[in-house]
Each structure stands twice: as structure tokens, then as C-alpha cells.
Structure 1
Amino acid sequence: MTLPPLKRLLQGALLSTAVIAASVQAEDRPQAIQKLEERGVEVVESFEAPGGMTGYVGEMQGRSLAFYLTPDGDHVIIGTLMDKEGNNLSKARIDELLTGPKFEKAWSDIQDSHWVREGSEDADTVIYTFTDPNCPYCNRFHKQAQPWVEAGKVQLRHIMVGILKEDSLTKAATILGSENPEEAMHEHQASFAQGGIEVDRERVSAAHLEVKANNKLMQELGLQATPSTLYRGEDGKITMVQGLPNPQALERMMGPRP
């Protein structure tokens, strides 16, 4: 469709304004920060940090990071900033300014992904977790969650991915393409030490595209390990736990142990 000349002119003006604004914003940053950008760091937001420093959050190759400009404006410190009580100030800022908004924006895509339900449909807490059938930590997380699942307090939604081994995708598709995916998931987890569920080519054919779509979603979210677990906390904010949750994280996401 050809746009009217005036509309083309307006769109071109808006695009030019956006490009100029982005260029000016980048040029306004201290040279030490610009050098990071030249190395591939995408600066997302800045904030006031302790000790007179200016903090920044950004991404590089899909990974979130925090970095701090010293008061002289000539040096950048990359890494974790802790306070005297041992609190991780960097993670709090990354969650607030970067990962939280990113997962909030993608929440509908996470809900609409291809998952296997485990637990009661009426559970008060719904948790999404990216699960690879060859992941030993996913198997351990499944076992950890059973007291909450069996008590009807938590519903786990396993977003099946295939990334770890050559047969991960076919196993994930076998589970996802089963007539009763929840039963297939339990069968797989119960026999995990013996290799898990037997691949069924008919089921793989029915669900392999869904697993590939889940793989793509995981990549787009910048998640690099399984299990990667997301849930909406009591404060309404989305929290992500990457890897096997420790006992404290487990109770934060699922509530007191039944």
C-alpha cells in the first residue's frame, strides 16, 4: 500500500527525530559509558548509587548486568554492589529497572506458551517453569514442589523446551504431544534416572513445533538455564528464579511448606 505524501513526510520526520534523540542521549553519556556501548553493552537505565556513584543497568548478549560510574566520571566498575548487611543492591536494581519490566511485557506470551499443567486447576499460586526433559535440576525442582502441588496450593506449568541434549526436543514433544501430558510428565520424572520417557514419533510429530516455539521464547527472554521459573509475587511484580531454587526461594514463590 502506498502512503499519501504528507503521511510519508510525517513518518519520516518522526523517525528522524527518534534517531537524533537516541544519538544525542548516547553522546551525552560519559566517555567511560560510551566505551562500554562500543563493546556491545546496551544501556537501559541509570540511577543514583551509593558513594556518589552513578549506577547503570543494561544488557550484553542477552545477559543483564549492572555497572557503576565513579564520581570522577573516568572509571566504570562492572559487577555486584553489596551493602554492609550483605544485600545485593545490583540485583535489586536489575530486577526493578530491567528484568521486571521485560518479563511484565512478555507475561502474556509466557501464559500463552505451550506448557504441561501439574497440580490443581484451582490452586491459588500459578508458577511457570522452563523445563528440559534431560535437566537433572528440573527433576529435582519437580520433586521439591510436590508437597505444595499435592496439597492443591500450587499449580506448576512446565514450559517444555529441548536445549540440553540431542534428544531433549523429541522427549519434550513426546510429553507435550501425549493425550494426557500431565501423566506423561509424571511418568518421565519418575523414570528420570533410567532415561525418562520413551520417545514416541507420532507424538513428536504432533508437538515438535510447539517445543521449538518455547525454545524461541526462552531465547528471546534471555534465559540461559533450566529450570528458569517465573511467578507473580504478592506485591504483583513478576520474579524470575534461574536454576534450582534454594529453600528460601522455594517458600517465597510457593508459600509456607504444607
Structure 2
Amino acid sequence: MCSSARFLSILVLLTGLLLASPLWANLSSEDAAAQEDLPEVSEDAVSQARERPEPIKHLENQGLDIIRDFPVGESLTGWVVRFQDRDLIVYTTADGDYLINGVVLDAQGMDLTEEHQKTWLPRPAWEELEAAHYLTEPSLLENENGQLETRTQLYMFFDPNCPFSQLAWVAMQAYREVGAEIRWIPVAYLKPDSRNRTAALLDADNPAALLAQNMENFGEPQEELDVSVENQHREQMQANMDLMQSLGINGTPGWVWQNAEGELQTHSGMPRLPRLAEITGLPKQEHPEPELMRFR
């Protein structure tokens, strides 16, 4: 997975506010086990009786709203904070002296922050994804009348310079052949020219063809993808990044789909190939590509 570094706009905001801000904290196995029993979300989940730690009071004094807290084992407390209609999660240590803004990993390396975002942050509905700035790779399945038929849709957050996004693109071509439509939502954070490539994709007359060109010639300079970044591009990229954050996706590729019950599902990173049938709801496809061997 290509990490998004917790979304630069929020990180810049908090840099000047936090008393301490390590990038991640490693929980013990006991803490990781304890955090499995998270309570259900409720509007009164934040404890008004508890004395808030000084770093949290500092955020309040800087104009951030404290929405709720939740336990993370014995070592940490999680907090949902809001600034200018954006919600994010931070953590305070048990002694209340330090605030952590970053990804928390447990002793097995699992990203707990992503799960906390899914549990505690308000998530957009499937219909709201249609407002994203995306480019569409249509299904390649032809029906009996020779018309293209879409049997499933999914959204994919990607950075044009993310190697795992490139692998996801390779893997999904087989599923396009059997009815998958992929709506690619570009974000830009990995390299200086990610913004230029994203702007080119957003403006392309044939975005699917330009996306394929980027992926087939991955990592190489491409004149068609080197365009000037205008204000509207910056706004579109930020809107896509905000949407990615609101879904609790911490890196690319970021998958969004609906399960058989119509419930919104997400995944960060490149999944194992057998799981693609579950994600798409389509028959499992073969993947002879050598670069995908490690995901079989």
C-alpha cells in the first residue's frame, strides 16, 4: 500500500498545535486485544465527566471541536476532533501528557487507525461517491446485442505514481472483461509530479486511454501527463483526498464497493487475488501476470 501520510492538509493544520506528534505508536498485544471490544458509536459517547488531557484542551483552545473519545487498550485514548467540517482521529497517552497524530499499529503491524476511522468517523453513502472527481474504465463485457454490459461498479482511489495502484489496475483488467466498471478517483501525494499527472487525467478527452498509458508505462516520463496544475485541479484533488479520508482509507489503492447486502465496504492496499471475486461479486479470474505472483 502507498501510504498517504495521514493527509497533508490536516497534518499541516495540526503541526503547530500538537505538544507531541510521533508518526505511529506500537501497541502491546494486550492493548491490541483490549481494543477489540469497542463500544457502539453514540452521540453521547464522549465522557463529559472525565477531565480532558491538556493536549486535548489545547486543541479546543485552538478552535477544534472535540466530538467523542473511545478506548484503545490501556495505553491510549482515541479522540474524534473536528476542524472546519473535517473530522479526524488523534490519540492521547494514558498519562495525558502527549498527543499522537499518526497511524497507530498494533504488535502485529495491523493499522488500527484505519479501523478506528471506519468505526468512529461519519462515512459518506455510496451515492455520494458519484460527486467525486473520477475517471471511468468501462466494462468490456458484450451482451448478446453487442452492447457493453456493466454487472458491477467499484471505486478506486489511486496515486498515478503508486506502484500498488498500478498492480491493482493490472489485476482489474480481467474483471473488466466479465462486467466490472471501475471508477478511478485520483489523489496526489507521493511524488512532485503526481499533481501534474492527476491534472492531466482529470482533463483528458479519453481518460481511460490516458490512465492505461500511465499504467502500461509506469514510472516513465510521459509528455501527455506533464501538464500545468490549475486552481480547479487543486480543489478537485483536495476534495478527493477529503473523501478518501472520510472513508477511513489511509493509502492507495483504496477500494470501495458494495457487498451483496448493499453495504459500503472499503479496503486499503493491494488485496490477495482470490479476494477480488468477493470485492467485485464476479467469478474468479485467472492472473498469469508475473508481477501479480506474490498476491496469489
Output the TM-score relative to the length of structure 1.
0.62
2:212 partner SS = helix
Out of 238, 262, 267, the position equivalent to 1:236 is: 262
| Residue 140 to residue 213, structure 1, CA distance change in 2 (3 Å) | same
Relative contact order, higher structure (CA 8 A, sep 6+): 2
Letter in 2 for 1:212: R
Q: Give 1:95's aligned residue.
A: 118
Matches within 5 A, 1:180-191: 180-191=206-217
Out of 113, 118, 122, the position equivalent to 2:137 is: 118
Q: Give 2:251's aligned residue.
A: 225
What is the CA distance between 1:95 and its match in structure 2? 2.7
Native 8 Å contact 1:138 1:226 kept in 2: yes
Out of 41, 46, 49, the position equivalent to 1:29 is: 49
What is the CA distance between 1:216 and its match in structure 2? 1.0
Out of 154, 172, 175, the position equivalent to 1:145 is: 172
What is the CA distance between 1:214 and its match in structure 2? 3.1
State how far apart, in whole Å, the 2-side matches of 1:119 and 1:243 are: 22
| Residue 186 to residue 90, structure 1, CA distance change in 2 (3 Å) | closer
| Residue 46 to residue 224, structure 1, CA distance change in 2 (3 Å) | closer
| Residue 235 to residue 47, structure 1, CA distance change in 2 (3 Å) | farther
Native 8 Å contact 1:57 1:93 kept in 2: no
Native 8 Å contact 1:169 1:208 kept in 2: no
Q: Give 2:9's aligned residue.
A: none
Native 8 Å contact 2:159 2:187 kept in 1: yes
Seq. identity, %: 21
Native 8 Å contact 2:105 2:111 kept in 1: yes
Residue deviations 1:46-68, cap 9 Å, x none?
68999xxxx96635896546899
| Unaligned stretches of 5+ residues in structure 1 | 1-23
State the aligned residue count.
217
1:183 partner SS = helix
Matches within 5 A, 1:1-258: 28-31=48-51, 34=53, 37-38=56-57, 40=59, 44-45=67-68, 58=80, 63-64=88-89, 94-98=117-121, 101-104=122-125, 107-120=126-139, 122-152=149-179, 154-195=180-221, 197-199=222-224, 204=227, 208-209=230-231, 211-221=233-243, 222=245, 224-247=250-273, 249-255=275-281, 256-258=283-285
Letter in 2 for 1:126: Q
| Residue 248 to residue 95, structure 1, CA distance change in 2 (3 Å) | farther
What is the CA distance between 1:257 and its match in structure 2? 1.5
RMSD: 4.4
Whichever of the two has the greater Rg, that structure is: 1
Native 8 Å contact 2:155 2:185 kept in 1: yes
Native 8 Å contact 1:233 1:239 kept in 2: yes
What is the CA distance between 1:143 and its match in structure 2? 1.0
